[in-house]
Amino acid sequence: MQIGFIGTGVMGNAIAVNLLKAGHTLTVFNRTKSKTDNLVNLGATWADSPKLVAQKSDLVFTMVGMPTDVENVYFNDDGIFAGLTANKTVVDLTTSRPDLAKKIYSYAKSHAIFALDAPVSGGDIGAKNATLTIMVGGELSVFNQIEAIFKEIGQTVNYFGPAGSGQHTKMANQIMIAGTMTGLTEMLLYAKAANLDLNKVLATVGGGSAANWSLSNYGPRILKDDYTPGFFARHFLKDLRIALDEADKMNLTLPATTEAKRLYEVMVDECHLGDQGTQGLINSYK
Amino acid sequence: MQIGFIGTGVMGNAIAVNLLKAGHTLTVFNRTKSKTDNLVNLGATWADSPKLVAQKSDLVFTMVGMPTDVENVYFNDDGIFAGLTANKTVVDLTTSRPDLAKKIYSYAKSHAIFALDAPVSGGDIGAKNATLTIMVGGELSVFNQIEAIFKEIGQTVNYFGPAGSGQHTKMANQIMIAGTMTGLTEMLLYAKAANLDLNKVLATVGGGSAANWSLSNYGPRILKDDYTPGFFARHFLKDLRIALDEADKMNLTLPATTEAKRLYEVMVDECHLGDQGTQGLINSYK
């Protein structure tokens, strides 16, 4: 199958590599061209715009940064929809706004194009090892057609309902992580202030009813002052903003998540630490 | 060894059973006498006050409710210290204030009595199966003398430093859980509002970087509207209040934990749901 891939940052690049390894023919585009070099070396073809990628593809994946990037990549004059013909499929892997996923779906539907929203979790390691969790929204029949390809890039692939449902599930995921990250951060600050052996605290607390992935994975990195991004704090903040905007639209008040967003705003906007990983939150506490 | 056990609620009772099974001679006291009946049937001896328990014991365990209960049990006219002679040992298993642990230690030290603070985690099931995590503060030499007995009632037994360090470690544990519980609650509220299949969301979110013990254990109970306490919400609120008081003394501001405390105050104080388990937090959201 002719596959297009737009957005080859850390995550997108690793996913594209797995699609190439699975034997697909890839046409690629990225804002910074050099980030497609390794893919071209593996046999992918460069195209000069999302539109040109779309013209050469049966299925186009996108994995870009912010919702505005998603909107541009799909709807600009040189965007995907300017180049895509009927019966082709688009899949947005970006974590983005549920209402934008619905907008893409509606536009696609009216042009006989198939569209799925399919944000992922599992980070750069999951992307590299094809162990991502993929949360899919859109029409079930379209999901069924693409499922085999999802399985080439991810391990847990689940369908959640109509357009936007993949994004909503990812937002639920990020709301949960907001809790584990703020809890981990404040737990370590408390334990440090109390002069406890932090390695021992992590081992003990992480072995019981407080156990969680963030503690096991980010706890030891924080103790080594390792704030290199598994997941950029500024991207996580973007996700929390989307989640809380959506919650607001559903008349839902989420005070703990709102507080987590505020704390990540301090980290990213006031302390300018958005290029650290989410575990860098601890650096913005006074 | 002659062991005294004061406070035979759900947790204390199960621990006392394990001490009896291990072959120790037990003298027991509890505010509600009937809650020691099963222990007397297993061979324990009832005593009419903490003082009388202390007079008959080489080692006294306490597991009562609130810090004020701890204070009374140790310092009242009919309390432990009124009955205990030199070279005996006291171990407080209650989750209580670090500064109270230090006060007990200091008083004990000045009377040539040994004292440890040793709060536990692992819940009623951990108490029953002797798989508790025990976090110990006090003098290392005293810990070493008691360690074998701790191993009869718990699985993970760790020493954390001078008096109060066990309590501080438990507070760190509760701060972490404040994050997982608020995150889980708000994640489920969001997913429900977005019309997602909640069982599917739990399975997916719980399989990746948002994975945590609260989600795996309390998530399914919440979906079944099962709010029976594994751990009483009002006890958890007590713990968060202690943790934040201690943080305040250490000039530490913990905004996410403060917000979690506020949410549990709404649940316990305003909605009067303190006798539900911690997972009942979701019932106090509007």
pLDDT of residue A93: 98
Of B122, B191, B254, the CB nearest to A186: B254
Q: Which of B140, B143, B165, B190 to mutate to test the interface with A (most CBs of A within 10 A)?
A: B190
The list of chain B residues with pLDDT below 70 reads none
User: What's the first-to-final CA gap in chain B, in angstroms?
Assistant: 54
Which amino acid, one-letter code, is at B161?
A: G
pLDDT of residue A92: 98
* B6, β-bridge pairs: B29, B62
CB within 8 Å: A197 and B173: no
pLDDT of residue A102: 98
pLDDT of residue B241: 98
Report yes or no on whether pTM surpasses 0.80. yes
Instruction: Kindly provide the ipTM of the predicted complex, given to two decimals.
Output: 0.95
Sort out which chain B residues have CB atoms less than 8 A from A257's CB and list them. 183, 186
The list of chain A residues with pLDDT below 50 reads none
Please pick, among A170, A224, A249, A286, the residue that the annotation labels catalytic: A170
Annotation says B33 is catalytic: no
Decide if A163 contacts A143 (C-beta within 8 A): no
Query: Hey, what domains does chain B have and what are their CATH numbers?
Result: 2-162 (3.40.50.720), 168-285 (1.10.1040.10)
Token pair in block for residue A126: 């999951």
Nearest residue of chain A to residue B243 (CA atoms): A190
**Alpha-carbon distance A173 to B147, whole Å?**
41
pLDDT of residue A125: 86
Decide if B261 contacts A193 (C-beta within 8 A): no
**pLDDT tens by residue, A64-91:** 999 999 999 999 999 999 999 999 999 9
3-state SS, residue B90:
strand
pLDDT of residue A77: 98
Using only C-alpha atoms, chain A has a radius of gyration, in whole angstroms, of: 20
pLDDT of residue A230: 85
Nearest residue of chain A to residue B154 (CA atoms): A208
Distances (CA, A) of A186 to A192, B63, B175, B212: 10, 27, 7, 17
Of A172, A191, A207, the CB nearest to B190: A172
Taking each continuous run of H as one helix and of E as one strand, the counts in chain B are 13, 9
CA distance B90 to chain A (A): 22
Q: Which of A158, A174, A176 to mutate to test the interface with B (most CBs of B within 10 A)?
A: A176
pLDDT of residue B135: 98
CA distance B212 to chain A (A): 4
CB within 8 Å: A208 and B178: no
pLDDT of residue A124: 83
Sort out which chain B residues have CB atoms less than 8 A from A197's CB and list them. 160-161
Nearest residue of chain A to residue B189 (CA atoms): A252
**Alpha-carbon distance B75 to B70, whole Å?**
8
Q: Which residues have CB under 8 Å from B21's CB, separation 6+?
A: none
* B114, β-bridge pairs: B89
Nearest residue of chain A to residue B126 (CA atoms): A208
**Alpha-carbon distance A186 to B252, whole Å?**
9
pLDDT of residue B123: 83
Sort out which chain B residues have CB atoms less than 8 A from A169's CB and list them. 191, 196, 201, 204-205
CB within 8 Å: B165 and A196: yes
Phi and psi at residue A255, to the nearest 5°: -65, -40
